[in-house]
Amino acid sequence: MEQLTAHDPRRIGQFEVLGRLGAGGMGLVYLARSAAGRRVAIKTVRAELAEDQLFRVRFSREIAAAKKVSGFYTAAVVDADADAPVPWLATAYVPAPSLEDLVTECGPLPVDAVRWITAGIAEALQSIHQVGLVHRDLKPSNVLVTEDGPRVIDFGIAAGVSHTRLTMTNVAVGTPAYMSPEQARDSRGVTAASDVFSLGSLVVFAATGHAPYHGANPVETVFQLLRSETDLSGLPEELDAVVKGLMRPAPEKRTDLASLQSDLAPHLFARVDEGDDDAVQWLPEVALDLIERRRHRRSARIAAQPSVAAPVPSPASPVPPARTGAPAVTRDPSTAPSLRPAPAGPPGRPGRAAPDEPVRLPGVSVPITPGPYAAPAIPPPPAPEPVNEFLAQGARAEAGPAPAALAVPSAAPAVPPPSAAREVARPYSPSAASAAATGRGAHRGAPARESGGGDGGGEAGTTSGRWRPWRFRMSNDIWTRPVVWEGTLFVNSFEVHALEIATGRRRFKTRDVAWAMAVADGRVHAADGPSLYTVAATDGGETWRTGLNGWVYSIDAGGGAVCVGSRGGGVQVRSAIDGSEMWRADDAQQEYENPHSGPCVVGESVYYRGSGQLHAIDLTTGRRRWSRRVGEDVPSRPVLAGGVLYVTAGNQVLALDEESGAERWRAEGQVVLFTPPALDEAGGLYTADYLGTVSALDAATGELRWRARTGGARQGADPAVVAGGAVLVASGAVLYAFGAEDGRERWRYSARGEISGAPAAADGLVHVGSRDHSLHTLDLATGRPRWKLDTGGEVSGSPLVSGGRVFACSKDRCVYALDAAKGTAR
């Protein structure tokens, strides 16, 4: 649970707000309690929807229907107000992990456990469908798992959105990885059969640990869904018939819920002992432990909230002791300083690092040297030391015995005297335990700033003066690729976090959510939806804030201006200095509305698409320079080079004059191109379509130089990367390198899972993430692997290389900072 900010309400209706539980597509979710002490989860509706009267009417109807839903496996609707300035819906609060958390932390569930959860969800859906509702957003995070069965939440609210003006811009309501094909085409006319398809997707996730559709971005995921390219790898044979029956493309042919329950009943009843059918019968011990910890942890947090501010100890007062737990381990106890205890974890599992803390990584990346055409052979890992989370997550020691364990920060650090500066970066030294206790401090209503020794100007936080790899764990998922500016790494994880590259220490984080982010000229621009705000990149101090008429989905900045795209075709350009409006437009309606397709600043102009046309507008004056019909709207950014603008539109590549928009040449590809072209200094232009075909054109004439195919359908929306005379493109689990001059294949490298994002190349090395939970680094000339780092989750998005360091984000909610040439080795 997050603390309330200055902008959060303290009361909603009759309920006292206690804290933030998170955020979703509808808006923020709060934990609150009634006058009688009953806890509820309140979902508020974002301002964009609240302004839509049609939404309010439908929302009111759906609330009335949702209150009629009764059933053991649903979270009851307690109260709601569709007429409030900010509409809200309160449901019974269930202190339990979601199915997403359960599978992510404990791994895929056994077959019988999947059947047990599936039967409970099916019964919940029957209760929902009986009152005329369709869930429309059934996904792992909307299913809570308690000791006596699953609970389906967030029903009855998604329906109101699917009939609002949002669908006029083809914004699908739901989560692409779990929605039905008919919902992806038009969410307004879906029936109960759509929830049945989503239930099949949940079965796949629970049994395998991955979604049936998992593209690199929502567009790619929808492509896979509409083409029925379902990933059932790892699905147990016993569940194959269940999944295929639920996920038939034709809605009318899917297994109905009553038949599903009849099929599951014999398997469930056979294992029930004396009528006891709770989780003890079905879930593994590690999952039961997580459920127990989640219930008690959240209860403890609420009970521990003081009614008045706690007194601050004076310098003469004794310092309260830190929480007890498993002590940190060092090789030489006689020389080790006093370390904070590591948090206790479930039986058989290592302690988990506290969120929002930097953790120094020991030298555990693996130098590997197999041939370039095979997945690298990885030796079995040494036994991990229980307090070193990084080793326990599967990283391998480079040589010799495992290095000394690293103290992991606990949730409640020891409180230092007020006069003492707190260190927040902890280096790792294999010869002696040199880690120091860390602490965090934040002032309510202001950006959360980290205090401590070291300013980030030098190699602070290390004992030897050398930079060392680190990892920073976030409290939430990481949304976008990191951005580097002046020694600081900016990451969007619910809020914008500024991490000091030299030490891994967090300098600050924004006090508000940031759905979109851009960094330029020493400023961080972000939007929480209907509001745009700017903070200083050095300390997070807010410089200006303004409300916008619409929901922001993209931000770009440059030339002293910030350019935003808002739902429904809006474009606004404001001064980056004070936020004053420079100009606006409302003709940017397009089929795709995502950060890749939004208005962008290129050179001295703003380019945006609308109704099949590309518009070029002067950045500072708003004067229309030219508009040109280019055909289909596609989510790709124009590329400017030498006075020529290169644009992809449908299956075509166009070269347009920057000043007049006149067409210089046009070349046609085989299928639709969803990525911008890549250019090199030799006058080559390269495109990669989503089927895996790479085309090389002459940038001056558009003449086709060569065309090469990868081994299979690429199904990606990431551009080709040109570096060192090679064109790099990923297709499935394989990274290909083609010669830029002749298109001949130079090498290929196979990972153990699908490549995620585009590769990053610099200094003769190629870095690429994979869904095998690894970051791979290869030699650019030969494709031979140099080192590999295993993380605690799928590497998401593209790595970033800067200053001899590579930064990667993982679905374990961590940012990794590594030496580009050596990984974590020193």
What CA–CA distance (Å, rounded) separates 601 from 561? 9
Can you give the pLDDT at residue 420? 29
List strands edge to edge, sheet with 678-679.
678-679, 684-688, 693-698, 704-709
User: Following DSSP, what letter does each residue of 262-320 receive, concatenated?
Assistant: HHHHHHHHTT-BTTB-SGGGTS-HHHHHHHHHHHHHHHHHHHT--SSPPPPPPTTSPPP
Can you give the pLDDT at residue 430? 29
What CA–CA distance (Å, rounded) separates 493 from 250? 38
Can you give the pLDDT at residue 594? 74
Task: Over range 173-183, report the average pLDDT.
Answer: 81
Single-letter amino acid, residue 216: A
Are the CB atoms for 576 and 525 separated by under 8 Å? Answer: yes
Q: What percent of the chain has pLDDT over 90?
A: 40
The answer, yes or no, to whether residue 343 has pLDDT greater than 70, is no
Pairwise pLDDT comparison (768 vs 448), residue with the higher score: 768
Can you give the pLDDT at residue 532? 94
What six digits make up the tokens of 99? 């199915």
What confidence category does residue 460 fall into, taking pLDDT thresholds of 50, 70 and 90?
very low
Q: What angle is formed at CA 510 by the lines to CA 504 and CA 515, rounded to 5 degrees?
A: 105
Pairwise pLDDT comparison (98 vs 397), residue with the higher score: 98
The answer, yes or no, to whether residue 390 has pLDDT greater than 50, is no
Reduced to 3 states, what is the DSSP secondary structure of residue 262? helix
Cβ atoms within 10 Å, residue 621: 11
Beta strands 15-23 and 11-12, pairing class: antiparallel
Cβ atoms within 10 Å, residue 253: 9
Write down the catalytic residue from 79, 83, 137, 812: 137
Q: What angle is formed at CA 92 by the lines to CA 90 and CA 94, rounded to 5 degrees?
A: 130
The answer, yes or no, to whether residue 514 has pLDDT greater than 50, is yes
Q: At what angle do helices 192-208 and 99-106 cross, to 10 degrees?
A: 20
Please give the backbone phi and psi of residue 26, each rounded to the nearest 5 degrees, phi first. Answer: -85, -35
What CA–CA distance (Å, rounded) separates 99 from 122? 15
| Lowest mean pLDDT segment, chosen from 387-401, 469-483, 770-784 | 387-401
What six digits make up the tokens of 777? 């680094």
Can you give the pLDDT at residue 270? 62
What six digits make up the tokens of 335? 């020389």
Can you give the pLDDT at residue 643? 94
Of 318-322, 394-398, 583-587, give the range with the top mean pLDDT: 583-587
pLDDT 10s digits, 85-124? 888 888 888 888 999 999 988 999 999 999 999 999 999 9
User: What radius of gyration, in Å, describes the C-alpha atoms of the chain?
Assistant: 27
Q: At what angle do helices 285-303 and 99-106 cross, to 10 degrees?
A: 120
What CA–CA distance (Å, rounded) separates 363 from 365? 6
The answer, yes or no, to whether residue 697 has pLDDT greater than 70, is yes
What six digits make up the tokens of 84? 């409030």
What CA–CA distance (Å, rounded) separates 407 from 353? 9
Task: Over range 128-143, report the average pLDDT.
Answer: 87
Spans of all domains in the chain? 11-294
What CA–CA distance (Å, rounded) separates 785 from 82? 57
Exposed/middle/buried for residue 252 (C-beta within 10 Å: 0-12, 13-18, 19+)? exposed
The answer, yes or no, to whether residue 715 has pLDDT greater than 70, is no
Can you give the pLDDT at residue 355? 57
Q: What percent of the chain has pLDDT over 70?
A: 73
Can you give the pLDDT at residue 581? 95
What confidence category does residue 376 fall into, taking pLDDT thresholds of 50, 70 and 90?
very low
Task: Over range 694-719, report the average pLDDT.
Answer: 84
Can you give the pLDDT at residue 340? 32
The answer, yes or no, to whether residue 498 has pLDDT greater than 80, is yes
Can you give the pLDDT at residue 232? 92
Pairwise pLDDT comparison (755 vs 377), residue with the higher score: 755
Q: Is 289 one of the annotated active-site residues of the chain?
A: no
pLDDT 10s digits, 299-328? 444 444 443 333 333 333 333 333 333 333
Average pLDDT in the chain: 76
* Topology of the domain comprising 11-294: Transferase(Phosphotransferase); domain 1 (1.10.510)
Q: What angle is formed at CA 619 by the lines to CA 617 and CA 620, rounded to 5 degrees?
A: 125
Can you give the pLDDT at residue 826? 61
Task: Over range 155-166, report the average pLDDT.
Answer: 45
